[in-house]
Amino acid sequence: MRFPWLVGGVVIALLMWQVVMEIRTHKEQEEEEEGEEDSLPLRSYIAGLGWYVAVFPAVYLLGFLVAAPLYVFCALKLRGESWWLSVLLASATGVFFYFGLHVALKVPLHEGVLWW
């Protein structure tokens, strides 16, 4: 049981060293970066993160065969893509998941708790 604590101790010591080094160099870099602006607004970051996290509850509730094409459609349409492109890519995703993964390769796919 001592080995994990030894490894953890090494990590903490190195991280503290790194924090000290970064604080020392941070003050020099602050003045250089004052003029720079963030290229993406915060709202875009939050939206991107939201889409990233949303896939997990979608798959959990609806299962892969429903969630995958639905997620692709929503992610494309709600982010400004055209109807036809969103439907096309969502359909292609659904076809691939069903015929490619489920039927041909027999990859096990979660079915979704809503359908239980």
Partner 1 sequence: MYGLFSIFDLGTLPWLLAGIPIGLIFGLLPGLSGLSALALLMPFVFGMDPGPALAFLLAAHAVIYTGGSVTAVLMNIPGAPPNAAAMIDGFPMTQQGLGGRAVGNAVTSSIIGGIFGGLVLIGLVFLVRPIVMSFGLPEYFFLSLLGISFIAVLGRESAVKGVISGTIGVFLSLVGMHTLTGIPRFTFGSIMLMDGFGVVPVALGLFAMPEVLKLFFSSGSIAQVEKSNLNVGVKAVLEGIKDIPRNFRLVLQSSVIGTVIGIIPGVGGDTAPFVAYGIAKRTSKNPEKFGYGSIEGVIAPESANNAKEGGSLLPTLAFGIPGSSAMALLMGAFLLVGIKPGPLFLQEHTALAFSLASTVIFANICGGSLLLLLGGHLAKLTFIRGNLLAPIVLTLIVVGGYATRGALWDVGLVVAFGAMGWAMLVYDYNRPALLLGFVLGGMAERYFGLSLQTYGWLFFARPISLTLLAATIFVLFSGQIRTGITGVRRKIGR
- The verdict on 79 binding partner 1 (CB under 8 A) reads yes
- The verdict on 115 binding partner 1 (CB under 8 A) reads no
- The verdict on 4 binding partner 1 (CB under 8 A) reads yes
Task: Give the residue among 55, 63, 71 at the shortest CA–CA distance from 102.
Answer: 63
Task: Give least dist CB 89 to partner 1, A.
Answer: 6
Helix %, strand %, coil % for the chain, to 5?
A: 80, 0, 20
Cβ atoms 71, 58 nearer than 8 A: yes
Q: What is the DSSP string of 67-80?
A: HHHHHHHHHHHTTT
Contact pattern for partner 1 over residues 34 through 73, marking x by CB under 8 A? ------x---xx--xx-xxx-xx--xx---x--xx--xx-
Q: What are phi and psi of 44, to 5 degrees?
A: -65, -40
- The verdict on 114 binding partner 1 (CB under 8 A) reads no
What is the C-alpha to C-alpha distance for residues 102 and 93, in angstroms, rounded to an integer?
12
Task: Please report, as ranges, the residues that interact with partner 1 according to CB under 8 A.
Answer: 1, 3-4, 7-8, 10-11, 14-15, 17-18, 21, 40, 44-45, 48-49, 51-53, 55-56, 59-60, 64, 67-68, 71-72, 75-76, 79-81, 85, 89, 93, 97, 101, 105-110
